Amino acid sequence: MNLQPVMRAIAMSALLCAAAFLYSDTARAQVFDFGQIDAFESLGSGTQRGGSPPKTIVDDGERHTVFFTIIESNTDAKIYWRSMDGDQTTLMHGPGVKAFQTAGTFKVEALGDDSRSFKYGYVLLRLKNNRGT
């Protein structure tokens, strides 16, 4: 049995929990139905620099939940995403954690020049298709 995907999921979950604990004073509640999760899809991390084009994390037209964590930042993060209500834009100021339920699009961009950046991590979960219900 290959434990690498399991260890990766555990490591990213620990990262998200640590960030949530460290920044709990700025956290806001959000309703989330865990019964809608169909499958774990991916996780990742990176650094987004100002002046660079937005980093695409989701662009497949399917429903997902993205748990997005900014670990370190000296600029604002601009999040482009599509909800069931249409295209949305959100700013994240400094380190923090947010959950997004997307309808197929999720991109992140660092504001400012190339001396500005943020480090991030994310967990991507595919949601069940509600077309037959």
Secondary structure of residue 42 in the 3-state scheme: strand
Nearest Cα to Cα of residue 101 among 130, 65, 67 = 65
The reply to whether 72 falls in a domain is yes
* Model pLDDT for residues 9-23, shown as the tens digit of each residue: 666 666 656 555 555
The reply to whether 133 falls in a domain is no
Average pLDDT over residues 95-108: 93
The reply to whether 33 falls in a domain is yes
CATH of the domain at 27: 2.60.120.10
User: Who has greater pLDDT, 20 or 72?
Assistant: 72
Distances from the Cα of 44 to the Cα of 11, 29, 104, 110, angstroms: 11, 24, 17, 17
CA distance 9 to 42: 9
Q: Range of 38's domain?
A: 4-127
pTM: 0.74
* Number of domains within the chain: 1
